[in-house]
Amino acid sequence: MPRPSQQLHPHREPVPTRLAATVLLLRDAEGDGALEVLMTRRSPNASFAPGAYVFPGGGIDALDAQSHHVADRRPAQSDLHLTQAIAAIRESFEELGVLLARHADGRMADATDIAALDRSAPFAAQCEARGLRLAADSVYLLAYWTADRDLPRRFEVPFLAARMPEGQTPVADEAEQFEPVWVRPADALARHEAGQFFMIFPTIRTLQRLAKFKNTQAVLDALASEQPLWVSCPRAGLLAGKEARYMEDEMPFGELALVCPDGQIVHPLDWQTDHPVPLLKNVQRLTAPNSGVMTGPGTNSYLVGDPTTGFIAIDPGPADIEHLEKLWRAAGGDIRAIVCTHSHPDHSPGAAPLQALCTRAGQSAPPILGLRSAPTARVASAFTPERELAHGEKLVLSAPAADAATRHTLQVIHTPGHAANHLCLMLEEDGLLFSGDHILNGSTTVIDPPDGNMADYLDSLDALDAACEAHQAQFILPAHGYVLGEARSAIAHLKAHRLAREAKVLAAMQALPQGSMDDWVRHAYDDVPPRMWPVAQRSLLAHVERIRGLEPGNGNAP
């Protein structure tokens, strides 16, 4: 974890969470049988999400946990999930008059049972007195949400799902909930986008995922494992000056976790090239103005250090003098070394002109460090550093003796694969991995033989995983895209993706043994837009080389 002394924002303790439960009542629409979900509008005077369209639900109370004996349960349904289901059943009755309960003979509760119960009286006791058992065994866990860290009222909420009982009609309590409406998830999202159906973030994201299901049974089948389909505690940043929230699988999430760990909504997420973006007190990112299909928002140049230690510049980028001047000014003119993660033309050409900027200002020339390009590199990727770095070498910035506690150590990790001379850097004191092009956010890097090698690439992922484990690194700072969080999980996911792609390549080769590279890329990259196939074909070739290298008789088979 980054040192607290390097965090940009003072620590603050998020508000404690309250336990609640909500239920998505589902049905299939008449006619085409498409999935519909029941939603209601909250009171405009509600203390939480006033006026929003929501699913019925509310707080879990002590009586819910004491009502297990009145409920039917599945064998694998835990006590906790049973309590949550009881709370959701109670809330759906109190708010909408929907009763998920059955008689001893298996008949579901009907209008007569509903009319006999008082919505404001203890719920489970009334059901028990009437001989009804709560149908908790028909309520399944869909997702688990914990409210954002910045909110003044925070809830931990299982989102449950159940089929709407036949023959019942929802009737809002006209106190907490109004206007019950059946709506298809895609229609609710479209109406929200048009400003006609206000919803809060967890509701929106839940509907986006629910829209992928064809009908109610498809949803319930997906929940049979008793595990939520997702668990999330979102984070928020600023986009175009407005709050924007993200789940764990969305690209800005890791960066927000690094910069604003306690949920402060202050970090701008807009990509711009005018000024550096501080990520920690000792890490700044300046993105070069070279956005494109292959570079995403542009090449990230990083400055590591502080005014007392001087700075190391990582990946100065292309030879864009305006970008380099901004980088130099952000370092206060005190650049002690320039490191290139590899020799590609969007990473290393800016090294020499940046060095010249320093010398023209009277500073001694900072050394240009890295690994020389291999003979396999393309002409445009020729690069020779002034000094070659060794695997495991440490580059140290430290303050004068008066402030000796300030220290920044970058450990060099040789990571061939994307390029033969690729290296990554681990900022040891803060557990940050600068990954160059080996790991990107939002895309997978191209492995382009002969300088790129898939076997080396996968081995290097293993080396980076070991380094993250050794230094308890949780964040990856790539050369393109936002910071990634959960570093080891990100590496594992990337490796699994590569191996899954390789399995598709192998399947294409086996199905079309006389096929061309064009044939194979159409089959192995059928989930990639055709316009990207020429680029994908380079990585396909790298997979083919690795597959053939593993064939018996080649000396590399396991």
Please indicate, yes or no, if residue 99 is contained in any of the structural domains. yes
Please indicate, yes or no, if residue 147 is contained in any of the structural domains. yes
* Pair 451, 523 in one domain: no
Please indicate, yes or no, if residue 2 is contained in any of the structural domains. no
Composition of the chain by helix, strand, coil, percent to 5: 30, 25, 45
pLDDT at 553: 59
* Pair 198, 310 in one domain: no
**Local structure of residue 148 (DSSP, 8 states):** -
pLDDT at 160: 98
Calculate the CA 181 to chain-centre distance.
Answer: 32
- What 3 state SS string does 483-519 have? CECCHHHHHHHHHHHHHHHHHHHHHHHHHCCCCCHHH
Please indicate, yes or no, if residue 242 is contained in any of the structural domains. no
Of 233, 261, 295, the domain-final residue: 233
Alpha-carbon gap, residue 354 to 47, rounded angstroms:
55
Alpha-carbon gap, residue 409 to 533, rounded angstroms:
40
pLDDT at 259: 98
pLDDT at 558: 39
pLDDT at 21: 96
pLDDT in tens, 237-270: 999 999 999 999 999 999 999 999 999 999 999 9
Please indicate, yes or no, if residue 263 is contained in any of the structural domains. no
Please indicate, yes or no, if residue 279 is contained in any of the structural domains. no
Check which CATH number belongs to the domain holding 484 and give it: 3.60.15.10
**Local structure of residue 318 (DSSP, 8 states):** S
* Pair 308, 226 in one domain: no
Q: Which regions of the chain are under pLDDT 70?
A: 401-405, 552-558
pLDDT at 44: 86
pLDDT at 467: 98
Alpha-carbon gap, residue 542 to 115, rounded angstroms:
69
Cα-flanking dihedrals φ and ψ of residue 244, to 5°? -135, 130
Length of the chain: 558
Domain that holds residue 508: 499-549
For the chain, percent of residues with pLDDT exceeding 90: 91
- Nearest CA to 164 out of 110, 97, 98 is that of 98
* Pair 451, 507 in one domain: no
* Pair 216, 127 in one domain: yes
* Pair 225, 373 in one domain: no
CB atoms within 10 A of CB 347: 29
Alpha-carbon gap, residue 493 to 5, rounded angstroms:
31
**Distances, alpha carbon 456 to alpha carbons 114, 345, 418, in Å:** 66, 21, 8
* Pair 467, 508 in one domain: no
Token duo for residue 68: 């297990």
pLDDT at 557: 44
* Pair 211, 293 in one domain: no
pTM for this prediction: 0.92
* Pair 452, 529 in one domain: no
pLDDT at 218: 97
* Pair 514, 481 in one domain: no
Cα-flanking dihedrals φ and ψ of residue 309, to 5°? -110, -15
Of 213, 233, 253, the domain-final residue: 233
Alpha-carbon gap, residue 223 to 204, rounded angstroms:
20
For residue 133, the surrounding DSSP H or E stretch is strand 133-134
Number of folded domains that form the chain: 3
* Pair 304, 448 in one domain: yes
* Pair 226, 336 in one domain: no
